[in-house]
Each structure stands twice: as C-alpha cells, then as structure tokens.
Amino acid sequence: MRVRIRAGDTDAFGDLFDEHADAVHRHAVWSEGDPALAEDVVSLTFLEAWRIRESLYPDGGSLRPWLLGIATNVLRNRRRAARRHREALRRLPVRDTVPDFADEVVARMHDADQVTAAMAALRALRRADREVFLLCVWSQLDYAAAAEALGIPVGTVRSRLSRARTRLRALAQQELGRTRTIPVEQGEYR
C-alpha cells in the first residue's frame, strides 16, 4: 500500500480515502467543532497527502497516523493549506442544501452541543497537549503512532498526554466544586 501511495497510484488513494476519511473527519470535527469546516479539512488532508506522497516512508504499518498527522498540520494552519490548494478548493462541489429529516437535525444539534461542551474543556489545554490528547484518547492512536503523526519523540507524547490529563482532571474538579458551592443567591462563590 505504501509503495502504491508513494507511486501516486490513484486507486490506492481511493482505498485510502475509503478507509480513513471518517477518522480524519471525526478528528477534524473534534478539533474544530464545525462540521462544514471539517469537510474542508478532510479534502485538504487528502490533497496534502497526495502532494507529499513521495515523502512517505516505504515501510510501516497503518497509514492512519500519517493522515492524522497531516490533518493536525492542516488544522494548525488551515489558512495556509487552503491557500496552497485554493484552485482545488474552488472546484469542490457545493454542499447539498437538501433539508435533513427533522429528527436527524435534532440529533445533530445534540451532537454539536456535546462536541461544543467537550471542546470547551479541551480549549483550556495548550495546543500541543490538546493535539496529543485528541490523537491518543479520542482517535485512539497508540503512543508510537501519535509520535509518528506529530513527528515528536514517544517520551514527549507521554509527558504531553499526562499534562493534558492532569489539567483536565483539575478542570473537572473545579467544575464539580463550582456547581456544589454556588449558593442560590447569585454571584456569591464560596
């Protein structure tokens, strides 16, 4: 597979898309909290993958870490990626405006709220820590794969993840404490 990807085999890229597009999409929604932007990130990730295909190592396992690493880079600097592929993005088909069924819309709104709430917690993290958290915990890459995706040593992945978790725990406790101690009289925190 890696050899075919490196050689620019479009069928191989088709398979790559089929296998990983949803994972890239989820990762983008988690990072962005916006499904419309996430779609652009999916396209940009695969366009970038195509562009840099020859830099892919010929040996190795699943290509998911590689793709999620590219997605992370795209998310870090979306404007730059969008400029690089602006011609291609212009040709991107418009989203359908066919209305969703009502219950599906409700389900989506609920999902969006959930993403927003989780993102609010994640926003309190440093970007580097958040990236590691998203890759390791939500996208379920192991430490070595996350290290590959981000191009950093495994030790750094561990320490960032540990920092992210400590911070999230502290936030969760703060949140818990706040709801318990907020008196009925508004504005008085104890």
Site for another protein contains 97 (CB under 8 A): no
CA distances for 135 relative to 105, 142, 157, 160, 180, angstroms: 28, 8, 10, 12, 33
The interface region with another protein, picked from 9-17, 141-149, 152-160, 178-186 by CB under 8 A, is 9-17
Site for another protein contains 42 (CB under 8 A): yes
| Site map (CB under 8 A) of another protein, residues 110-149, x = contact | -x--xx-xx--xx----------x---xx-----------
With contacts defined by CB under 8 A, how many residues of the chain interact with another protein?
Answer: 60
Nearest to 157 by CA among 167, 170, 148: 148
Site for another protein contains 66 (CB under 8 A): no
Nearest to 69 by CA among 136, 145, 149: 149
Q: Which of 5, 29, 68, 150 binds another protein (CB under 8 A)?
A: 29
Q: Rounded to the nearest whole angstrom, what is the least distance from the CB of residue 52 to another protein in the complex?
A: 5
Site for another protein contains 83 (CB under 8 A): yes
